[in-house]
């Protein structure tokens, strides 16, 4: 496999950037890794009127409030609530311009063993966000998805595929001039909660005798938190409604990731966990028929008309080949150890 050291990590995804001055923004699941990074970036780059942190964990909100003191960031509002509760969502979305839906149950094994809980949050919660956004006349909604939603083999991926379908179809429910909904789909996030990176770093620091590897062939897409935040913001600006946005990001073998982060420690193969894939895919052959390509991203267009005034493709976009697919093992861009370590300043 050909490596392109650091090439895609140079992509900032900050063009285009929306103007969020005096905007009111709500983030579901905002106390998670993405939400905290998103709130920080918006405060650093823009002057929003209101930033609503919507989540169900009061202790995480307490911790987050300490990092964003009111005297410094008066725009932030902390709102206890669950996406399973539509009435609470409607109350929180009053006067909101933009919603970023990041709340989800995301652990693959947890979803396999607790399927009803996964469905209640990821599927019924998505429907609640849609209904609340429409009733509160929110302008735009971006829902965060996952590479596991394409050709899903586990319940988490299947629930996020259902969620993606709900958000795309929601553009019909909102009617002419109503709320617009789109989806952002990307891969594993470095150093997010649940990422394997903190585990490998911890084992290396503790001088572990072995590093557990599920399968030496396993590959994954990788993106940094900053890239993910910038990508979501740029998609918020360019969305028309119904698109699934996918960034061009590099792949890396899990075994190479472990060797780079924990050099000199032997690996032990523990086997693929329930519901895991060897390789992830973000665009399938079937999706390719409605996919266009930009320099830094792919966009899966809605297969049915959801825009009032359809426009020709921009000059910077082109359709992909009919048999195209975007998978972590056949990706054209790869991270090597040097590029990976540069992300962490090593």
Catalytic center residues? 148
Task: Give one DSSP letter per residue of 224-292, joined into a string.
Answer: -HHHHHHHHHHHHHH--SS-EEEE---EEEHHHHHHHHSTTPPEEE--PPTT--SS-EEE-TTGGGGEE
Do 308 and 249 contact (CB within 8 A), yes or no? no
Cα 69 off chain centre by: 27
Do the strands 76-80 and 98-101 form a parallel or antiparallel pair, or are they unpaired? Answer: unpaired
Cis preceding-peptide flag for 16 (omega within 30 of 0): yes
Going by the DSSP 8-state scheme, the letter that residue 147 receives in this structure is: G
**Separation CA 297–CA 14 (nearest Å):** 12
Q: Which residues contact 199 (CB under 8 A, 6 or more apart)?
A: none
Residue environment code for 79-96, b if the CB has 16+ CB neighbours within 10 A, otherwise e: bebbbeebebbbebbeeb
Reported residue count of the chain is 346
Please give the torsion angle defined by the CA atoms of residues 53, 174, 311 and 283, in that order, rounded to the nearest 10 degrees: 60
Within a 10 A sphere around the Cβ of 324, how many other Cβ atoms? Answer: 16
Residue environment code for 281-298, b if the CB has 16+ CB neighbours within 10 A, otherwise e: bbbeeebbebbbbbebbb
CA dihedral sign, ordered 39, 225, 214, 341 = negative
């Amino acid at each position: 496999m050909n490596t392109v050291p650091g090439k895609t990590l140079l992509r900032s995804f900050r063009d285009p950037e929306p103007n969020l001055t005096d905007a009111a923004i709500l983030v579901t699941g905002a106390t998670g890794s993405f939400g905290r990074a998103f709130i920080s970036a918006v405060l650093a780059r823009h002057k929003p009127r209101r930033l609503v942190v919507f989540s169900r964990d009061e202790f995480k909100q307490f911790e987050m409030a300490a990092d964003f003191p009111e005297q410094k960031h008066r725009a932030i509002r902390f709102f206890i609530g669950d996406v399973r509760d539509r009435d609470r969502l409607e109350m929180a979305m009053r006067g909101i311009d933009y919603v970023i839906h990041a709340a989800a149950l995301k652990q693959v094994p947890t979803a396999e063993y607790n399927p009803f809980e996964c469905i209640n949050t990821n599927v019924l919660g998505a429907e609640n966000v849609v209904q609340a956004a429409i009733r509160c006349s929110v302008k735009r909604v971006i829902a965060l998805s996952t590479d596991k939603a394409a050709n899903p083999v586990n319940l988490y991926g299947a629930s996020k595929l259902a969620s993606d379908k709900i958000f795309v179809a929601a553009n019909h429910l909102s009617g002419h001039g109503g709320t617009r909904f789109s989806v952002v789909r990307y891969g594993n996030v470095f150093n997010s909660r649940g990422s394997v990176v903190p585990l490998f770093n911890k084992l290396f620091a503790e001088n572990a005798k072995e590093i557990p590897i599920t399968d030496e062939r396993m590959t994954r897409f990788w993106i940094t938190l900053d890239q993910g935040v910038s990508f979501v913001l740029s998609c918020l600006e360019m969305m028309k409604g119904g698109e699934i946005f996918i960034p061009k990001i590099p792949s890396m073998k899990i075994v190479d990731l472990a060797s780079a982060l924990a050099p000199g420690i032997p690996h032990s193969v523990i086997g693929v966990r329930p519901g895991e894939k060897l390789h992830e895919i973000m665009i399938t052959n079937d999706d390719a028929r409605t996919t266009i390509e930009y320099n830094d991203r792919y966009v899966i267009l809605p297969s049915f008309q959801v825009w009032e005034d359809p426009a020709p493709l921009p000059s910077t976009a082109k359709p992909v080949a009919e048999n195209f697919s975007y998978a972590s093992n056949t990706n054209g861009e790869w991270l090597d150890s040097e590029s990976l370590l540069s992300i962490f300043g090593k």
